A = this chain, B = another copy of it.
Amino acid sequence: MRMRDIAEALGVSTMTVSRALRVDASVAPETRNAILKAIEERGYVPDQIAASLSSRKSGFVAVLVPSLNNPHFSETVLALNETFATHRIQPLIGSTNYDSRTEASLVRAFLSRKPEALVLTNDGHQADLRRLLARTDLPVVEIWDRPEDPIQHVVGFSNREAMRDLTLALMDRGYRNIVYVGENADEGTRSGERRRGFVEAQMLRGVDHPRMCSIGRPPATMSDGEAALAVVMRDCPGADLIMCVSDPLAFGVINALKRRGLRVPEDIAVAGFGDFEISRIALPAITTVKVDPFTIGRTTAELILTLRARSSKDRPPSPVIKRIETATDIRASAPGKPI
């Protein structure tokens, strides 16, 4: 069934039907009612594909996240989804699996769907992709990290600074023998930036050779805790605090410690990153950096709606950088050393 069928049944033109379906178009109230009634009765569903082709507006926003089953990103996607839904925008969601090549090829695939904006979770990009995006007039928003050289807009925080601040806070609370555990990840990835933040903090306080362990590629999960602890025990004995790249890993490490009969934080303290739900529920609660994935998603969606509202002439005025607040939260798993 096409719009034309509705139009003919009522003896009006398709344009009138088309207008009846928008709120802002001028159609006589009785005409509109008759049309809406006919549409309802016959179960007509407008073809958004044809509408997109004609109006040159797809109603899509492409969203790329490293992973869909990481609570952080799924929360962000949730927020985007929710905000967009009220504006009839459909997110096209893709998962890069923490791989910049996958990211590049997904972006290409998405571009053919003519999205009205592109959201990338910053984790380092291929040079190729950067070039492709540089010459497009599509609004691009990088989220979840503040890159040193942004493509356009940014909604995020500095993972480096956040981890640096957490490390400093814990050093100031008396931990001297700190080990960092994270994935093998390059600079420019969120994971790599957190490690840099740790190193920076240690250097600032005169630790010339910060101790670090690596445990494979991102993402580190709760299940990696056992293996991570084994590496720490082997390579860095005598640590008084294990700092983990994320809360799930920290939780895994804590449980591994408990299995070995060690007490947290009495025998050894543990810290995480991200304020995942698990960090609040865990016993002991995990010292972490609070970030709010939902806010990142909502802020991003709102930014895109704003950009969209401006006529394309006004764009690009200048890249918008929205800083998301983070906060160090000292909890029971690493409360500071007793004096």
Contact = CB atoms under 8 A, between A and B. Distances in A.
A273 interface: no
A276 B142 CA distance: 31
Interface in A35-69: 43, 45-50, 52-53, 58, 67-69
A251 B82 CA distance: 28
Contacts of A77: 68
A75 B95 CA distance: 12
A54 to B, nearest CB: 9
A69 B48 CA distance: 28
B68 A74 contact: yes
Contacts of A282: 255
A281 B225 contact: yes
Contacts of A108: 45
A48 B95 contact: no
Given A74-B74, A222-B277, A278-B278, A48 B91 contact: no
Interface string A183-197: 000000000000000
A92 interface: yes
Given A45-B111, A71-B71, A259-B283, A81 B53 contact: no
A4 to B, nearest CB: 15
A320 interface: no
A114 B49 CA distance: 8
Contacts of A49: 49, 52-53, 58, 113-114
A108 B135 CA distance: 36
Count the copies.
2
Interface residues of A, number: 50
Given A53-B49, A258-B283, A278-B222, A95 B78 contact: yes
Contacts of A114: 47-49
Interface string A248-292: 000110010011000000000000000001101111000000000
Contacts of A313: none
Nearest to A135: B43
A136 to B, nearest CB: 9
Contact of A277 (B67, B74, B223): B223
13 contacts: A45-B108, A45-B112, A47-B112, A48-B112, A49-B58, A67-B78, A69-B78, A74-B74, A81-B95, A90-B113, A221-B277, A258-B283, A259-B283
Interface of A: 43, 45-50, 52-53, 58, 67-69, 71, 74-75, 77-78, 81-82, 88, 90-95, 108-109, 111-114, 132, 135, 221-223, 225, 251-252, 255, 258-259, 277-278, 280-283
Given A46-B112, A68-B77, 8 more contacts: A43-B132, A47-B112, A49-B49, A49-B52, A50-B53, A223-B277, A223-B281, A225-B281
